[in-house]
Amino acid sequence: MRAPIRIRLTAWYLTVLCFCLAILGTVIFLGARESVANIIDSDLRARMAATRSFMGQHIPSDSPTELQDEFQEFSASQPGGALLQIKGESGDWVFQSLSMQRYGIAIPSPSEASQISTDMQKGHALRIITDSVIVNGKRLVVQIATDTTSFTLVLQRLKWLLLISTPLAIGLALAGGYWLSSRALFPVRRITEAARSIGGNDLSCRLDPPQTADELQFLAETLNAMLARIESSFKQMTQFTADASHELRTPVAIIRTTAEIALRQKRDEGAYRKALQEILEEAERTSSLIDDLLTLARADSATEQLALSPTNVAGVIEIAFSKTKFLASEKGVSVSLDLAHRSAWIEGNQEALVRLFLVLFDNVIKYTPAGGQVSAVFYVVEGMAVFRIQDSGIGIPAQYLPHIFERFYRADQARSRKHGGFGLGLAIAKWIGDAHAAQIQVQSAAGQGSVFTVEFQHANSQPS
């Protein structure tokens, strides 16, 4: 089981903090030690330079007594100068301070270059510089030392201070980090509780976004947008179920009533045939409705995947036109088709496209009175295949236009079931258009007819 997010946030925060404090403590300690070493070495080099200068200017003779006095006076005037010893070429001590005698530091062999080293003598840490100095043609080895014990103690205290203070800082940071993470996640917990309290019966409820202009406000607004989509889908599903039940109840009731009346008493053959004819018509209408409902259900569940292949849109339109000419002539409506281009290929499903154009032809013919005209044109412009169909029918009022592609929606609610349809045709047409990345647009006004336009992208003159 994974730990709560506030625990994980605190753990990550603590890990990063420990890493940073470890690096910072190491850098502080090493930097302090290096700085102290540089200061001590610089002081030793300065004292060595002063000693060289003194020896070159103030030692006129080789008298041991005079040399001892001169060096004694010089060493007394220098800070830490008491730690000084000088050895001649013969190996005899030219000068050795009492402190140097006590430490007993062995002078190394003469060297052309200055050397700095560290030596532990009798519990004291000494930093020693050794150099050769030529005086009166003789090479002398000079050694100057500084007791760094006090500096070492300071560095030891600094190390222990870092080792002790770092865990204390980490402990305080742990408590503070846990408190801060809990406080930072409190709005998230409040949003979670509010979202959990919203059920299927109160989808209209919304979260109260904190006005913080940060991720929390964005999260709450995103959840509100999701709830709005869920509410819309839930209402659409509920309305769809209610409409489907209503549409199915009517033909079933007619079939049942007709059968009951026919069976109530003996009738002649003509009466029975008439009853069976009415039952057959309602059964066919019900079968058509069920097919449309299944198509839309598959579209909603994304299980209906159209198989696409190179399809000539112009040829599909001709097929749909040939199937609707009889319906138009039966109603007394004049219908025409003008194909400016007879070859316009897209990736499509021929069966679905035939149904799309049949829906459009059927819709305009259905709402065009006898003696009216329906004209359709098809052309290709700049790689776009365009189908436009126009009627001289009753038109669609402006307030109904945004809803005509909704399921079970009929702008003319007063039309009969026989001529008004179920209100699913345009919804299916839109789904087919979306599956082919096509746009379906409508322009209409009450009493002025309607114009439906379908635009297909990336049409080619030859199959690809």
pLDDT in tens, 414-457: 444 454 566 778 888 888 898 888 999 999 888 888 999 999 98
Q: Is the pLDDT of residue 332 over 60?
A: yes
Name the pLDDT band for 353 (thresholds 50, 70, 90).
Answer: very high
Average per-residue pLDDT in the chain? Answer: 80
Average confidence (pLDDT) over 180-201 = 75
Kindly report, residue by residue over 250-304, the tens digit of the pLDDT.
678 878 888 888 888 787 888 888 888 888 887 877 777 777 777 777 666 655 5
- How confident is the model at residue 414, as a pLDDT? 41
Among 74-78, 149-153, 224-228, the least confident range: 74-78
pLDDT of residue 14: 82
Give the chain's end-to-end CA distance (angstroms, integer): 55
Give residue 60's pLDDT: 52
Of 373 and 120, more confident: 373
**pLDDT at residue 361 in the model:** 92
Which range scores top for mean pLDDT: 47-61, 156-170, 408-422?
A: 156-170
What per-residue string of b and e applies to 249-273 under the rule 16 or more CB within 10 Å gives b? eebeebbeebeeebeeeeeeeeeee
Q: pLDDT tens digits, residue range 159-185?
A: 898 888 888 888 888 888 778 777 777
pLDDT value for 110: 60
- Beta-carbon contacts of 335 under 8 Å, excluding residues fewer than 6 positions away, are 321, 324, 325, 328, 361, 365, 373, 374, 375, 376
pTM: 0.52
- The answer to whether residue 338 scores a pLDDT higher than 90 is yes
Distance CA 50, CA 58 (A): 12
Q: Do 97 and 85 meet the contact criterion of CB atoms below 8 Å apart?
A: yes
DSSP letters of 289-319?
HHHHHHHHHHHHHT--PPPPEEEEHHHHHHH
Q: What is the mean pLDDT of residues 193-219?
A: 75
Residue with the larger pLDDT of the pair 6 and 329 = 329
User: What pLDDT, on a 0 to 100 scale, did the predictor assign at position 417?
Assistant: 47
Residue 134: predicted pLDDT: 79
- 390, pLDDT greater than 90: yes
- The model's confidence at residue 193, banded by pLDDT at 50, 70 and 90, is confident
- Check residue 432 and give its pLDDT: 87
Q: Which residue has the higher pLDDT, 333 or 8?
A: 333
Q: For position 313, what pLDDT does the model report?
A: 92
**CA quadruple 451, 455, 460, 464: dihedral sign:** negative
Average confidence (pLDDT) over 103-131: 75
Residue type, 214: D
Chain centre distance of CA 321: 49
pLDDT of residue 9 exceeding 80, the answer is no
Angle of CA points 433, 370, 377, to nearest 5°: 35
Asked if 433 and 454 count as a contact pair (C-beta separation under 8 A), the reply is yes
User: Which of 95-99, 228-232, 351-355 has the largest mean confidence?
Assistant: 351-355
Provide the pLDDT for residue 204.
74
What domains are defined for the chain? 5-155 (3.30.450), 215-301 (1.10.287.130), 309-456 (3.30.565.10)
382 pLDDT exceeds 80?
yes
Q: What percent of the chain has pLDDT over 70?
A: 85
